[in-house]
């Protein structure tokens, strides 16, 4: 008999797929202009921006040369990052609990300065999903504890928010061998 054991990484992957599904129809402003974008969901960290090509050495010391810095990943909105924060396994063969941080970043340069509304829609879409059905991927159970925050600093036109929650699941089970 094969038993599929839950692990924090498998739970993270399932949570990423669920958030992608929950936000599939949502569109957000593109910081570079143009068409609206769907939410990109990342595991554990935002991708490291690629290095830009450097100017030839001759131009670096001239007054006209101005090095353009790389755009930080945090400003390449819209995005979601599903981060494993911590976990505990209280006993052998016991249920483990893993805490996650689900972070969001969106861009909204409308003069009304109301980007927090998009964040709250994202946060409560995730909350509603697990309030209605706490089971994820048939084996991970949301504990029902949710803590959410919006960034305190004014970062207009970028807006950031996060959810802290946790899931419990069975891990590996003790093997029983028949030596008879």
Q: Select from 161, 82, 154 the least CA-distant residue to 121.
A: 161
Residue 91 makes CB contacts below 8 A (sequence gap 6+) with none
User: What's the structural domain count of the chain?
Assistant: 1
Q: Say if 85 falls within a structural domain.
A: yes
59 domain residue, yes or no:
no
Q: Looking at the domain assignment, is residue 58 inside a domain?
A: no
Judged on CB neighbours under 10 Å (0-12, 13-18, 19+), 93 is: exposed
The boundaries of the domain holding residue 86 are 8-46+71-170
Average pLDDT, integer, range 134-144: 96
Whole-model pTM? 0.82
Q: What is the mean pLDDT of residues 41-54?
A: 76
Q: Is residue 175 part of a domain?
A: no
Q: What is the band of 72 on the pLDDT scale with cuts at 50, 70, 90?
A: confident
Domain assignment of residue 93, yes or no: yes
Decide which of 123 and 48 is more confident: 123
The model's confidence at residue 157, banded by pLDDT at 50, 70 and 90, is very high
CATH of the domain at 130: 3.30.70.1700
How does strand 40-43 pair with strand 79-88?
parallel
């Amino acid at each position: 008999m094969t038993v599929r054991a839950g692990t924090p990484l498998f739970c993270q992957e399932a949570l990423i797929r669920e958030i992608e599904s929950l936000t599939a129809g949502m569109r957000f402003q593109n910081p570079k202009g143009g068409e609206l974008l769907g939410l990109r969901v990342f595991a554990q960290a935002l991708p490291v921006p690629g290095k830009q090509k450097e100017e030839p050495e001759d131009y670096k010391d001239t007054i006209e040369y101005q090095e353009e810095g790389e755009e930080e990943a945090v400003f390449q909105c819209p995005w979601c990052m599903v981060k494993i924060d911590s976990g505990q396994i209280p006993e052998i063969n016991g249920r483990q609990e893993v805490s996650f941080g689900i972070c969001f970043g969106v861009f909204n340069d409308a003069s009304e300065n109301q980007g927090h509304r998009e964040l709250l829609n994202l946060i409560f879409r995730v909350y509603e999903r697990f309030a209605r059905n706490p089971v994820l991927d048939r084996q991970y159970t949301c504990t029902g504890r949710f803590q959410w925050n919006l960034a305190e600093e004014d970062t207009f036109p970028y807006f950031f928010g996060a959810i802290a929650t946790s899931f419990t699941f069975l891990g590996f089970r003790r093997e029983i061998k028949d030596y008879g």
